Amino acid sequence: MWHTTTNQDDYVDWGTAEGYGNTILESGTPPQIGALYIHEVTISDDLQPNTLFHSRVRSGSDYSHDNSFRTAMSGAGDFRFLAYGDNSGGSDTNFQQQHFKVANSMLVHAWSEDAKPRFVLHVADFVHDGGTAVQWHPQFFDPAAGLLGSAPLLPTIGNHEYQGDADVGNYTGFFCLETGTPAYPERWYSFYYGVCHFICVNSNKSADEMDAKAEAAQESWLQGQLQDTTKTWKFVFLHHPAFSDGGTSWGTSHDGSAKGGHAYDGEEDMSYALDTLAPLFRQYGVDAIGFSCDLVIDRCTIQNCGTGLFGGHNVVVTRSALLRNRGGIYCAGGAELVRVESTRIEGNETALSADAHVTLTMASCLISGGGSDGAFYLCAAEAVELINCTITACRLVFYWAEEGAPVNMTNCIVWGNESPCDGPSGPCAEVTATYSDIQRGYQGLRNIDAGPRFLDPANGNYRLRTDSPCIDAGTGDGYWPKPVRDAEGKRMPAYGGKYPQRPDFLYYDMGAYEHYVNSLHLEPDLGSAVLTRTSFWRSSYSIFYSADLLAWHLADGNLPSAEVETTSWIDDGSKTGVSPPFAPRRFYRILENPE
């Protein structure tokens, strides 16, 4: 398929080499989308499997560049395909430039013909308003031109394809697809590639055309596809995820529990994916599912970029690192909910910039270095919630470009920055802090003003020393969601507070790093557990054990102080009453005795 701005005689030249050798003249009058003529020809002769073909189109005296595609393999074999989506960024030219870079980077890494992707799955939201024809070129076809000339694209329909003047007609007009159910042309379809079966489904339950009759038709077709396939691998791609570990406003966690938040049309779509489609995926053993809609960055390192992460959608970042970028995370006005967890944001000029209407939650994050524009640059953002964050070595902490964005901090450490936590800040908004260690002091429940005693701040180690006043000085009450892992991925809280014999005392540490002082080495074959702790000068310790991390029991209350590197304690059952092989779920903690 291709499109032109004039209606002339159009041809396709094709063949196994750049000399082509075959020509097809388009027949009939091409349909129009806006000012564009949409052309389509079918090549069905002499297409051998797993063969590279070249092609170009001619319209009058104009020629396209040489394009290529490889036909599908008929049997088993290795191949690559790409999947991406949600590139709709409206009229923002910066977003279109980023789309261009992403699309071309997919080909840069294809170092040989065999390494090129055989096809591209696009999991929807091509443009902001799919019904507005003039958006398709600047927002999709132009940025993706290089990619589209090298591999076939298989699309999925998303909520943005239903937006605009002509509704979904532009989507079905720009692409030529198989039809799964004749009454609903090009809404869902499937194809084979080698030993794989790829199935595209429509998850847009909130669309007017997806009534009960359409849903029943799709579900019947989908069940038939999954039940009757003889292929080894089954892939499904759709726009809305049934499960989202990111937990934006409409998402669900991996166990199906609601993540909460504000209303959005996608809530109905994701419920459809969760309640109706996902059970079929499980029943028939779907091997992989591709989707977009939620932007979740997990276990990634992004460094030395202009902007580490740009989000025009809801954004979730977990267990990642953004290092030495001009900006760490930039959330445009289209992003309404942003959550960052267990992530290091270090050496960026601005850790996070948030435009209007953004609600930001950060938990168990380290923000250090940089901050020339403020560690947090807030332009009329809705609200900011910081839980168990460490903010240090920044020039500014908060900078408000406009009024708004009240900030609430719990269990945080704000220390070693050039300016206080609330200024200088432009038009200032309210900062509320509780259970936090803030240099120069700050009014609020259980706040302290005491050096946090980082382990080695000169070398970027902001974990807490054993004698830190921030240990067990936080709270687990009064806010939600509670962080469950610290910036290193360790479980929080570490033990349950200063008083292990009181399981109702559930104290967190302040800051991004939960303090652990012991390591456990189990040797069940020997019937013993060896607990090793690092000694501190003139400190004496007690050892407690627990079967469930709640009910703690004293195992040894008289460990002597030591001036050596480590002291070991062996649990052979004599002090805890049960030998380790018979109590595999046993946890230990070492507590420093009060002076």
How far apart CA 64 and CA 2 sit, in angstroms, is 10
Contact 441, 451 (CB under 8 A): no
Contact 13, 20 (CB under 8 A): yes
How far apart CA 120 and CA 144 sit, in angstroms, is 11
DSSP 440: T
C-alpha Rg value of the chain to the nearest Å: 29
Q: Cα(first)–Cα(last) distance of the chain, in Å?
A: 80
Contact 444, 434 (CB under 8 A): yes
Tell me which residues of the chain have a pLDDT lower than 50. 246-265, 423-427, 496-505, 595
Q: Which pLDDT score, from 0 to 100, does residue 25 have?
A: 93
Dmax (CA) of the chain: 94
Q: Which pLDDT score, from 0 to 100, does residue 501 have?
A: 43
Contact 509, 545 (CB under 8 A): no
Q: Which pLDDT score, from 0 to 100, does residue 296 have?
A: 76
Contact 26, 57 (CB under 8 A): no
How far apart CA 148 and CA 69 sit, in angstroms, is 10
DSSP string spanning 66-125?
PEEEEPPPSSS----EEEE-----TT-HHHHHHHHHHHHHHHHT--SGGGS-SEEEE-S-
How far apart CA 272 and CA 222 sit, in angstroms, is 14
Q: Which pLDDT score, from 0 to 100, does residue 187 have?
A: 94
Please report the beta strands in 194-275, taking only residues with DSSP state E, as ranges in sequence order. Answer: 196-200, 233-237
How far apart CA 264 and CA 336 sit, in angstroms, is 11
> Within 13 Å and on the Cβ side, how many CA atoms surround 539?
18
DSSP string spanning 314-378?
-EEEES-EEES-SEEEEE-TT--EEEEES-EEES-SEEEEE-TT-EEEEES-EEES--TT-SEEE
Residue 375, CA distances (Å) to 366, 411, 414 in order: 11, 18, 11
Tens digits of residue pLDDT in 50-70: 999 999 999 988 999 999 889
SS3 labels along 461-522: EEEECCCCCCCCCCCCCCCCCCCCECCCCCECCCCCCCCCCCCCCCCCCCCCCCCCCEEEEE
How far apart CA 141 and CA 161 sit, in angstroms, is 15
Tens digits of residue pLDDT in 543-587: 888 776 667 788 887 776 655 556 677 888 888 888 777 776 777
pTM: 0.65
Burial-class residue 189 by CB neighbours within 10 Å (0-12, 13-18, 19+): buried
Structure tokens belonging to residue 244: 């989202």
Q: Which pLDDT score, from 0 to 100, does residue 553 have?
A: 83
